[in-house]
Structure 1
């Protein structure tokens, strides 16, 4: 029991109470960014997976370099990890940012934004996974998986013998992304409310 209480207190300190900003510029800047992320994120949430909205958004171009770097980073660990490394790379980068904001800079609000990015990155991967059998998505070289030797998730699921589960896995990843995005709103909104209250006299 004491251990659970200690964990809750530590989590509250790291995730909420370490944010002590009171200045107006930070508050209004955070408020504007929060509104933008809510409006933009709702489009990601509400748009069907099959449309590949996330994969065609400008953020896909942000995720792409980390995806490609992930292939190189995991290359020493064999073919399977080299292929999986692309998806891991684009998910690990926002996660690294989240941890850095919490531990290094003690900025939980920035960490909540990184959580939003992590959620979006998962939603960016979902159409790619969903395309594992169809191989219809246009890839980086301007061709589809049908015109090459497949693509990452076609190869990964084939190697695992899970190709028939591509749609289910894609929806799972999409739903996890949605839940994390909603969590980022709850977290960021709470921090914004506390910031507002700290600015009030008395």
Structure 2
């Protein structure tokens, strides 16, 4: 990349925005057990998922919280990608990855059940219920580990896609000012 384009990339708003955002989401991947501000949005979407999936029976309703929590950011990724907004799609991939990490923490708590639940101690622990009914409670560490790996890979993929989008934009040829004839002006000769 020529020096001029490298300077343009490093000073672009996309790249400058990506630096703190990238570090934030890498921190989320490094320490998913820490409460992150985006988890507030994840919690609201998670709880809405229980209501939305309620008509499909108890098991699907309980799974619906974690399902919607992952589906919602994935829908935004699809929307931005489909509308040819790759940088926006990549940024929302970071949220999708963090949401999967958040689900991995909840799934990993299925045996111990020590996380505070919104409804208090009498609430159903979604992942304990789901894994116990599926006969997979003993596989809790493996399931949580796969979710954590998946979430981390989605975050890394989102960061790579965002950097590539910023590079492509910085390296794209800039439109030049059209000649007067191209703007509809003609000489009188």
**Where on the TM-score scale, by shorter chain, does this alignment land: which range?**
0.7 to 0.9
The reply on whether 1:177 has 2:151 as its aligned counterpart is: yes
Which residue of 138, 148, 153 maps to 2:116? 138
Matching residue of 1:89: 68
Q: Deviation at 1:29?
A: 2.9
Indicate conservation of the 8 Å contact 1:119/1:181, yes or no: yes
Matching residue of 2:53: 74
What is the aligned-residue RMSD (CA, Å)? Answer: 2.0
Indicate conservation of the 8 Å contact 1:95/1:118, yes or no: yes
Which residue of 110, 119, 131 maps to 2:88? 110
Which residue of 14, 17, 25 maps to 1:41? 25
**C-alpha distance in 2, partners of 1:129/1:30?**
34
The reply on whether 1:163 has 2:137 as its aligned counterpart is: yes
**C-alpha distance in 2, partners of 1:150/1:172?**
23
Indicate conservation of the 8 Å contact 1:67/1:89, yes or no: yes
Matching residue of 2:180: none
**C-alpha distance in 2, partners of 1:151/1:129?**
9
**C-alpha distance in 2, partners of 1:128/1:196?**
40
The reply on whether 1:193 has 2:172 as its aligned counterpart is: no
Q: Which SS does the other structure have where 2:12 is aligned? A: helix
Q: Deviation at 1:201?
A: 9.1
Q: Deviation at 1:28?
A: 3.1
Unaligned runs of 5+ in 2: 1-7, 177-189
Aligned length: 167
Indicate conservation of the 8 Å contact 1:135/1:150, yes or no: no
Matching residue of 2:181: none
Q: Deviation at 1:72?
A: 1.1
* Bigger shift: residues 33-42 or 183-192: 33-42
TM norm structure 1: 0.77
**C-alpha distance in 2, partners of 1:64/1:45?**
18
* Bigger shift: residues 147-156 or 162-171: 147-156
Matching residue of 1:100: 79
Indicate conservation of the 8 Å contact 1:45/1:178, yes or no: yes
Unaligned runs of 5+ in 1: 1-23
Q: Which SS does the other structure have where 1:161 is aligned? A: coil
Q: Which SS does the other structure have where 2:113 is aligned? A: coil
Indicate conservation of the 8 Å contact 2:28/2:36, yes or no: no
